[in-house]
Chain A
């Protein structure tokens, strides 16, 4: 069964899943719709605890859809239940939550005196609503001259700008190569960047359609390919381009673009790397082929920081095929330090040479947002200049390092540590997640970090997340060598009376909500892991997710300041972060402190600042024409 969530659309989905005999879920829906008709136009129901269940600003008049099951393939699809019965699933449909649609439908129902369950006249209302208000969305794509050109943030900025202008907008990236995935409400893995862009778009629940292909490197040459958030197969680079891309890859891109274009006003697409890699041009489904499938207008973004930006821009454009070149409507020069106007003369000459305008010279924006390539991979060894030093063990195969980003909201300096002596002065130690727990445990022992961490027990708080939590136990059992280091047992740090084992090639991918068992508040995050942990310690969290109320998660020894959890994102909400900071501030003894900031709210404010920065640097009259498809 799909993971339970608490949004009304999923309640409807759950109803379809939970039919048992006497009470018909259709009766339930009819009853709810009758109540909705009686209540009339309510607009966004800000007092609802589930608001906004789909997107910021949604109309909640019809939380339960009066047209269910409409059987209109634009809005939903049949799913097959275990008993073979087809059930109409429309959890991704946003149509009835558009304000104009909800108003029109309510007006028609009242005007014609219809009641819930009047299926034929209601279908006529839907047809008329669709004729008036439904149109296939338009696509806009940001391609970059290089990696790190600023595509991701530009897409996030454009999503937020369009969302603020009242568009229903979705981000999209065909294909991502990343070990930094997030879990959607339906238990699918997508890149954290599309999650962030969806937040910028005002969407509550990013879904697998926004990043249909995710590649997770397993070694130097093999990647696990995920399609629509689920494992699809392992491919070498060569197999990927020869077998996957022309067949299932291209199909997945097309299918998911169509899905989003049916549901949103605008789909803002992100390219991958450079679109002008002429050696793989025909096998590149992440750039101009995706643009063609969505008939997208494109913007080329160039990072000027390293120099050569005019050459990169003209070279990129001139190496595209004529049909693809015609899609490029504008050039953005990004990340300009100093006076942007100094580039204006060069920009004008570039525009003249390529016949495409430079529509924005964007200054370097110093805005803290979660980043795909974090400090860890940029060779930087610390972040922040606060008074409390938090040591993060920089495991060779570190994964989901964005877990640590919220720590910079506190008075901290986060240092990435690869040698025992670098632990000196640390107020806390965090062992993060890894793609290979067994291999990285060996590394911990070889570097002497393992003994150094054992020596800090009871002196400073030690937190293990996911793979780091597994390492905190007594032993790692991998009888089949699933972690890739050969079969056998590996001793852990021995901080917890727990053991982890890899019995089968199973992966747990699930979103969790929970609360600290000894009080302090809520946490929210997600688990992605192979291997299971049996712990004889006190659990750290009580799970509060719908339908899982008797579950617990993690391990804790409060007196020894040891914490272990599978929960990625454990520091996002203030509760656990505050608990850690209190321990650090008190040099070990818990003490009350001022409430911490909510990381998600902080990210949201920064998305607004990002959008402001782009908005003031972009040629808005060009942008308006682009949105209307007038270029």
Chain B
């Protein structure tokens, strides 16, 4: 199996963007990537060519891969409808309104996720997955689909993305590792520190200590760039302003620039490729 999942220590840690950056790299080396996110909680959706809704993030990642977005890339979409209820969409079709008294049929949904993942894998070279929020939410871990759920389901190896901008980055990485269920923890293969400003030398001791504690190597310290789209979770910033080819091209150009910068800053693409089983 050729697949990798980018997990985040928090929302907005940068997993959507780094996933897309890695897709650009894979496309450049001819590895035929395709994006995947088991489930999205969002009102910001894109409509595929066959008229089905997926999360905006996967649409952009598909373009980064040079693909037309398809429903397999995001089989589960949860749309908040207010007052604690959510509409559950499976493969782009509304199937139920969920609430605390009407929970999701998790077995059925997981089966749909697994089948979509398998179909996607059959049609591409590498499935580049994205987690959702933090995988370490103790109150959500049992019902999680996009993080621990998918990792267990298909044994997908993971890279943890942590945002240094607000501080506490070492605590975020170590804490997330600590709170991963023991059966899933060995799938955590490395971490990336994102949005760093300054000279990364000052992080050295902290990075080494985290590696010592967890066994995870640091795969890169990615420099800060004012690049935060597509803003999957933000329902205000990008809505209604993403149509048009120019935006796509600007997005792809930004990704390529970030890929070049991150590579210059030492992003360890060779190890990422190994984790995704592209080489040994």
Contact = CB atoms under 8 A, between A and B. Distances in A.
A313 B202 CA distance: 23
A7 interface: no
B203 A279 contact: yes
Contacts of A144: 168
Contacts of A312: 9-10, 168, 171-172, 175
B175 A274 contact: no
Nearest to A315: B175
Given A279-B205, A310-B137, A311-B134, A147 B11 contact: no
A273 B138 contact: no
A615 interface: no
A350 interface: yes
A310 B171 contact: no
B11 to A, nearest CB: 4
Interface string B105-124: 00000000000000000000
A315 B179 CA distance: 9
Interface string A275-305: 0111110000000000000000000000000
A184 interface: no
A314 B137 CA distance: 12
Interface string B124-136: 0000000001101
B204 interface: yes
Interface stretch (A60-68, A339-347, A461-469): A339-347
Nearest to A241: B202
A146 B165 CA distance: 9
A319 B10 contact: no
Given A148-B166, A273-B168, A346-B137, A318 B206 contact: no
A280 to B, nearest CB: 7
B139 A311 contact: no
A343 B138 CA distance: 9
Contact of A147 (B8, B167, B173): B167
Given A306-B12, A307-B10, A311-B136, A278 B175 contact: no
Contacts of B11: 306-308
Given A276-B170, A314-B175, A315-B173, A308 B136 contact: yes
A602 interface: no
Contacts of B140: 346
A349 interface: yes
A152 interface: no
Contact of B9 (A277, A278, A311): A311
Interface string A340-380: 00110110011001000000000000000000000000000
Contacts of A346: 137-140
Contacts of A309: 134
A145 B204 contact: no
A175 interface: no
B19 interface: no
Given A145-B171, A147-B167, A308-B136, A277 B176 contact: no
Contacts of A280: 202
A4 interface: no
- Which of B168, B207, B209 is packed against the most chain A CB atoms within 10 Å? B168
Contacts of B229: none
B67 interface: no
A434 interface: no
Main secondary structure of the interface of A (DSSP, over half): helix
- Which of B10, B13, B133, B138 is packed against the most chain A CB atoms within 10 Å? B138
Interface in B1-49: 8-13
Contact of B171 (A306, A315, A349, A350): A315
Given A278-B206, A345-B139, A349-B138, A311 B167 contact: no
Contacts of A306: 10-12, 166
Given A308-B134, A311-B9, A345-B139, A276 B171 contact: yes
A342 B139 contact: yes
A307 B133 contact: yes
A144 B206 CA distance: 18
Nearest to B175: A315
B168 A318 contact: no
A273 B165 CA distance: 11
Interface in B67-101: none
A312 B168 CA distance: 7
B178 interface: yes
Contact of A308 (B9, B167, B203, B204): B9
A353 B174 CA distance: 14
Interface string B223-253: 0000000000000000000000000000000
A306 B13 CA distance: 9
A316 interface: yes
A315 B206 contact: no
A219 B164 CA distance: 21
B138 A350 contact: yes
B178 A308 contact: no
Given A278-B206, A346-B138, A146 B167 contact: yes
A260 B70 CA distance: 64
A315 B172 contact: yes
B16 to A, nearest CB: 14
Contacts of A342: 139
B10 A277 contact: no
A350 B178 CA distance: 11
A312 B136 CA distance: 9
Give 8 closest A-B pairs by Cβ, nearest first.
Answer: A315-B175, A346-B139, A308-B134, A315-B171, A279-B206, A274-B168, A311-B175, A346-B138
Interface of A: 144-148, 273-274, 276-280, 306-316, 318-319, 342-343, 345-346, 349-350, 353
Interface of B: 8-13, 133-134, 136-140, 166-168, 170-176, 178-179, 202-207, 209
16 contacts: A147-B166, A276-B168, A276-B171, A279-B204, A306-B10, A306-B12, A306-B166, A308-B136, A310-B136, A310-B138, A311-B171, A315-B173, A319-B170, A343-B139, A345-B139, A353-B178
Given A277-B206, A307-B134, A308-B8, 18 more contacts: A145-B168, A147-B168, A273-B168, A276-B168, A277-B168, A279-B203, A308-B10, A310-B175, A311-B136, A311-B172, A311-B175, A312-B168, A312-B171, A315-B170, A319-B170, A342-B139, A346-B138, A346-B139
